[in-house]
Structure 1
Amino acid sequence: MIINAEHQRDVINQAGFDMLRLCNSQIDKAKEAFVTHDSDLAEEVIHKENRVNALDLKIEKDCEKFLALYNPVANDLRFIMAIRKINFDLERIADHAYGISRYVVDEDKKIAPHLLKTLQFDLMYDTITSMFEDITQAYEEKNVKIVRKVFKKDKILDKINSNSFSLLETEIIKDTSITGQALILFSVIKKFERVGDLLKNVAEEIIFYTEAEIVKHKKKK
C-alpha cells in the first residue's frame, strides 16, 4: 500500500506540474494575442480552456481518491491539501487568459502601442513571467528560498495596477477616441494583477507543504 500511495502521489505531483505549465502557456499566448491582436492565437487559447478544465477535474478526483484510499497524515496530507488549492488557483489563472483572449476575438481594433507603453504593460508581463519561472523551479526542486521571491515581484504588479486608472484618465482627456481601448486595457491590467495574486497564493501553498509554514495572513513585521 505504501508503494501504491507513493506512486499515486507522484502521479498527482506530475499532474500539478503539467497544470502549472499549461496555465503558464495560456497566459503567454493570451498576452501575445492581445498585443498583436492575433485572433487565431486567441482562439487557440479559448479552445484549450477545455483541456485546462479536464486536467483540473482529473487532479481534483485524484486528490479525493488519495484521501479516501490512504488516509494521509503529516507531509502527505499537507501535500494533498496544497495541490488542491494550487490547482484551484491555476485554473483561475487560465480563466483570466481566456478572458483576455475573448477581448481579442470580440474587438476589431488593436490596442495603441503608446497606451501599452504608458501603463508599463511589458514590465507587468515580464514580472508575471518571472514569477511563473520562480514557481516552476520551486515546484520541481521544493525550493522555498526561490519561491519567496514571488512576493516582492507581486508588489510591482500592484503598483502598476494602482497607477493605471489615473494614467488612462490622462490619456483619455488628451484623446477621447481611445476611450474604448483604454477601458479594455484597464480590464486586462486588472486581470494581470489578479494573476499575480493567484501566483502568490501558489507560492504560499508550496511553502506550506514543503516547510509546514502558513504564510497567508501573516502580519508584516
Structure 2
Amino acid sequence: MLRTQFEEELLNLHNQFYEMGMMVSSAVHKSVRAFIKHDKELANEVIDNDEAINDMEVKLEKKSFEMIALQQPVTTDLRMIITVMKASSDLERMADHAVSIAKSTIRVKGETRIAEIEKDISDMSDYVKKMVDNVLVAYVKTNEKDARMIAQMDQRINDYYASIYEKTIISMKENPETVISGTDYLSVAQYLERIGDYVTNICEWIVYLATGKITELNSNHDESF
C-alpha cells in the first residue's frame, strides 16, 4: 500500500478524533446549560446525541486496529494511532459524564435552588470547556508545551470543586429544603471535576505523541516507554 494512502488515512483518523472532541465539548457545555436553566429539551438532546459519540469512538478504534494490523506502522505513526485510541476513550468517558449531568437536569423538579452555587457551577463548566477546546487544538498541533500548560489548569477545576462542595454542604445544613438540589450540585461538580481529569489524560497522550514518553502530569512521575 502506498505511503500517501496511509498518510491520508492517518490524517482522516486525526480529523475524526478532532470532530469527536468538538461533539464532546458541545455535549459538556449543553448539559450544564440545561442543568442551570432547567432546560429538559436541551438535556434530552445531550442524552440522544451520546449514541453518535459512542459510535464515533467504536469507528475510530476499529480503524486504528485495522491500520496497525495492515500497515504495521512504526514509531511516530504508531504513536499517533495509539494516541487516537487512548484519547478517544477519554473523550467517550467525558461524554458519559455530560449525559449524567443532563440526567440530573431531568431529575430536578421545582426544588429549592441556590443561585450563587449555580453561578459557580456555570463558571466551572466554562473553564472546563476552555480546557477541552484548548486540548483539542494542542492535539492537532502536537504541542507538548501547551499540553503541559493545560494540565496545570486542572488545579483550578479542583479549586472550583472544593469551593462548590463547601458552599453546598453549608447550605444544606442551614436550609434542609436545599438538600435535594444540593445533592445534584455535588454530583454535577464532581462530573465536571472528572472531565478535567480526562482532559489531563489527553494532555499526557499529547506529550507521549510529541516525545514517546509516558508522563504523568500533575505529579512528579515520569517514565520512558
Q: TM-score, normalised by structure 1?
A: 0.93
8 Å CA contact retained: 1:37, 1:109: no
SS state at 1:100 partner: helix
Q: 2:196 matched to 1:196?
A: yes
Q: Deviations over 1:11-60 (max 9, x none)?
A: 11111111111100100110110110100000100100110111011001
Alignment of 1:51-90 (within 5 A): 51-90=52-91
State how far apart, in whole Å, the 2-side matches of 1:212 and 1:220 are: 15
Counterpart in 2 of 1:112? 114
Q: Which amino acid aligns with 2:64?
A: C
Counterpart in 2 of 1:37? 38
State how far apart, in whole Å, the 2-side matches of 1:220 and 1:87 are: 23
Q: Bigger CA drift: 155-164 or 197-206?
A: 155-164
RMSD of the alignment, in Å? 1.7
8 Å CA contact retained: 2:25, 2:133: no
Q: After TM superposition, which residue ranges in structure 1, 4 or more long, deviate above 4 angstroms?
A: none
8 Å CA contact retained: 1:134, 1:149: no
Structure 1 regions of 5+ residues with no counterpart?
none
State how far apart, in whole Å, the 2-side matches of 1:66 and 1:161 are: 41
Counterpart in 1 of 2:207? 207
State how far apart, in whole Å, the 2-side matches of 1:36 and 1:166 are: 23
8 Å CA contact retained: 1:78, 1:208: yes
Q: 1:220 deviation in Å? A: 6.4
Q: Deviations over 1:143-170 (max 9, x none)?
A: 2222222122100111222344332221
State how far apart, in whole Å, the 1-side matches of 2:64 and 2:185 are: 38
Percent identity, please: 26
Counterpart in 2 of 1:145? 145
Q: Which amino acid aligns with 1:40?
A: E
Q: Which amino acid aligns with 1:34?
A: F
Q: Bigger CA drift: 19-28 or 149-158?
A: 149-158
State how far apart, in whole Å, the 2-side matches of 1:185 and 1:216 are: 30
Q: Which amino acid aligns with 1:102?
A: K
Q: 1:179 deviation in Å? A: 0.3
State how far apart, in whole Å, the 1-side matches of 2:181 and 2:34 are: 15
Q: 1:213 deviation in Å? A: 2.8
Q: Which amino acid aligns with 2:132?
A: F
Counterpart in 2 of 1:179? 179
Q: Bigger CA drift: 105-114 or 54-63?
A: 105-114
- Work out the number of aligned pairs and report it: 219
Counterpart in 1 of 2:12? 11
Counterpart in 1 of 2:155? 155
State how far apart, in whole Å, the 2-side matches of 1:30 and 1:95 are: 11
8 Å CA contact retained: 1:138, 1:147: yes
State how far apart, in whole Å, the 2-side matches of 1:122 and 1:28 are: 9
8 Å CA contact retained: 2:21, 2:91: yes
SS state at 1:148 partner: helix
Q: TM-score, normalised by structure 2?
A: 0.91
Counterpart in 2 of 1:25? 26
Q: Which amino acid aligns with 1:192?
A: L
Q: 1:115 deviation in Å? A: 2.6
8 Å CA contact retained: 2:24, 2:91: yes
